[in-house]
A and B are shown apart, each in its own frame.
Chain A
């Protein structure tokens, strides 16, 4: 199955999964502390019985390229405090910023992989110390307090939880929320809608420009446009190319 199809199916599944948080599920399963961390990815595993009970309400775990289940859970929680959705409009979680980061860490952002591994593990350890649960199971207020301390370089017991790590995650969360959906984030263009960005287009007239964000949005990826390279076009040989010697 190609990656886009996979994402598409995963999206549909997780769209149906709203309502019940992993925290509720795992609390319900009676897991705490370290056991919770171990299981934090595994809502589906932990809750197999309820799958039958209320299949449409169960968040389904999605495949990641490099992040572990614990890492992805912590990162998703972190990202969704940076761009939250408590105001009822989509944020980093709905944009799937974590999927953008996950994919980036296997390629262009690979240099940050270690920082994420160390930082996210520390975040969960700190959360367990403070609240007995993994970071993603803390309340929003508790998560915010930790992030705020991070930005102040005030977490002395975990020096890797510093403003530098915060900035990395912030930058990548922004990129994942507002980039072209081709890269795995900005699902359903929720990031562009948040900013009032009317979308990529081939051209814009003076009239288009004067309408600004009131312009009917073009909601497509650059790579949905036939004008750009997705697959090489066979037989195109630019004039004057000389490979032979």
Chain B
């Protein structure tokens, strides 16, 4: 029997990047909130500049939950799904925002209207036939106020390109209009990013510093970035990275209305005969607890969002909570962020103390920023040349087929070239397709005996077309900057687990193709809100988190504004 806890207004499952944001507007409105978080608190002393720990051994997780539930994956149903790689989720207060790269992009307006804009400009037959893509149920302009709130609540640095329709040099000329500038200027540039920026200008492109949820100067009581070079999968030793653990969560705690319950692993969301949720069951140590609430917000990362719904079976929802439509797990996509181009330069780049969010971006080939009339794909990719180099990864650099990968010649090669190579990061439009989905693995279980998520998904012609096209542009860019050798990684096939995982609980007006309504509440269970990239139906050409956080704030505000009708 579960031990029943005193009722609360709202339970938030998972206090990561998005759950950690949603709590703030809820407590600000006077609601009492309990955040159930599987991990524990981690502090700046836990975040040592240690490449083995961060990058080889999958980080010092507060608890090993994610490690024990790594999804299985396969390209399509003709293969057996196998478990492998790591799990991109971090368990801790702050979630994966503790150690993410913190690139903090808004989507481009086109990403919200992919179907209608493609149809208008090129004709409906340009939407890939096997894609299940839909327009978002609202436009960029509707989300803009929430982007703005989150950028200021967290602390995002960047150079605006478009403020209320006026273009500003040094920012992204293709971004949607923003109501005001970023709260802080962009992170500092480096010799390398300046060199890449100059090269881009010789090609007629308009380079700019990308936005980051990392302080470029003192913001509130937190310092600016120390640029020590261990940001990739490293938590910040000075709290300059604007994870929710050092921003919105402590801010919400000040109200006295947020209770953070750590080491609380949610097992099941419980519903009543009307299909409404009544609370959640969680494991604390070896004890099962029941936390009743008037509304539940599910914010446990894309894979776990679908998994918890599928595991929460009841008489009313025999195939999983809010899944009588069969839509939970559908429209899944792993962002196509692989297929890099790797360059070798004839001189040192001085990149030892950079960070992945300190980079220079090119948006000319992203989204619909260029004419696709003669091309065989829609969408595009954002080109990103960034700093960041650590010794082990430097030694593992590509040999560009110039030397063997061991022995005296190789030793001399890495000794000379360790700081002369750079790998680009190209994020590409990725679409949802029929046949790409998440479900529960029929065989593989975690340590509690609960099935892990199975990913069945592969990239299609559209993604591979973008990958080949953007690799050409990236090579051009590196060559213009003086690269003497170039290697292109393969374009990719199976999607696999991803740091950028979308879908599974897509948001949209049509309940037969979407799990949540336009505000993020389940069509089939109206007091269950779902937060995270799992509600997003398109990826855009850039990282998901700021958008997921803006959506989370919007869902929370909607709950506050409609408390009686949703939770009453």
Contact = CB atoms under 8 A, between A and B. Distances in A.
Do A and B form a real pair? yes
Nearest to B412: A87
B5 A91 contact: no
Contacts of B44: 227
B43 A174 contact: no
A78 to B, nearest CB: 10
A70 interface: no
A201 B414 CA distance: 22
Interface string A162-194: 000010001100110111101100000001101
A241 B45 contact: no
A239 interface: yes
A203 interface: yes
Contact of B190 (A203, A209, A236, A242): A209
Given A144-B407, A194-B411, A223-B48, A202 B237 contact: yes
A86 B408 contact: yes
B411 A212 contact: no
Interface in B256-287: 258-263, 284
Interface in A100-137: 108
Given A81-B406, A175-B56, A200-B228, A239 B418 contact: no
B68 to A, nearest CB: 15
A180 B51 contact: yes
B141 to A, nearest CB: 36
Interface in A219-235: 222-223, 225, 227-229, 233
B317 interface: no
B250 A213 contact: no
A97 to B, nearest CB: 11
Given A183-B52, A228-B48, A238 B43 contact: yes
Taking residues whose C-beta sits less than 8 angstroms from the other chain, chain B's interface range is: 35 or more
A180 B253 contact: no
A70 to B, nearest CB: 22
A197 B418 contact: yes
Contacts of A227: 44-45, 48, 237
B406 A147 contact: yes
A191 B391 contact: yes
A4 interface: no
B152 interface: no
A18 to B, nearest CB: 19
Interface string B109-146: 00000000000000000000000000000000000000
B353 A81 contact: no
Interface in B396-420: 396, 405-408, 411-412, 414-415, 418-419
Q: Which interface class (under 10, 10 to 19, 20 to 34, 35 or more) fits A?
A: 35 or more
B406 A245 contact: no
Given A87-B412, A170-B406, A180 B45 contact: no
A84 B414 CA distance: 13
A194 B289 CA distance: 55
A195 interface: yes
Contacts of A142: none
A192 B414 CA distance: 11
Given A180-B50, A223-B48, A245-B5, A174 B237 contact: no
A204 B229 contact: yes
B227 A195 contact: no
Interface in B49-89: 49-52, 56-57
Contacts of A65: none
Interface string B313-354: 000000000000000000000000000000000001110111
A91 B411 contact: yes
Interface in B355-394: 391-392, 394
B191 A209 contact: yes
A75 B46 CA distance: 33
Given A175-B56, A204-B353, A233 B226 contact: no
A82 B406 contact: yes
A82 B505 CA distance: 49
Nearest to B350: A212
Given A84-B411, A209-B191, A212-B348, A239 B253 contact: yes
Contacts of A83: 406, 411
Contact of B391 (A144, A192, A238): A192
A33 to B, nearest CB: 28
A210 interface: yes
Contacts of A195: 391, 394-395, 414-415, 418-419
A185 to B, nearest CB: 10
A60 B96 CA distance: 46
Contact of A203 (B51, B228, B406): B228
A81 B228 contact: no
A208 interface: yes
Contacts of A212: 348-350, 352, 419
Given A204-B353, A209-B350, A170 B411 contact: no
Given A84-B407, A197-B394, A242 B259 contact: yes
Contacts of A197: 352, 391, 394, 418
Given A180-B51, A205-B227, A240-B250, 10 more contacts: A86-B408, A87-B412, A144-B407, A179-B52, A204-B228, A209-B353, A213-B352, A239-B250, A241-B262, A243-B262
Interface of B: 3, 5, 40-41, 43-52, 56-57, 188, 190-191, 226-230, 237, 249-250, 253, 258-263, 284, 289, 348-350, 352-354, 391-392, 394-396, 405-408, 411-412, 414-415, 418-419
23 contacts: A81-B407, A84-B407, A87-B411, A147-B406, A170-B406, A174-B395, A178-B395, A180-B51, A180-B52, A194-B414, A195-B414, A196-B418, A204-B226, A206-B190, A211-B350, A212-B349, A227-B44, A227-B45, A228-B45, A229-B45, A229-B46, A239-B250, A245-B261
The 3 closest A-B pairs by CB, nearest first: A212-B350, A203-B226, A204-B353
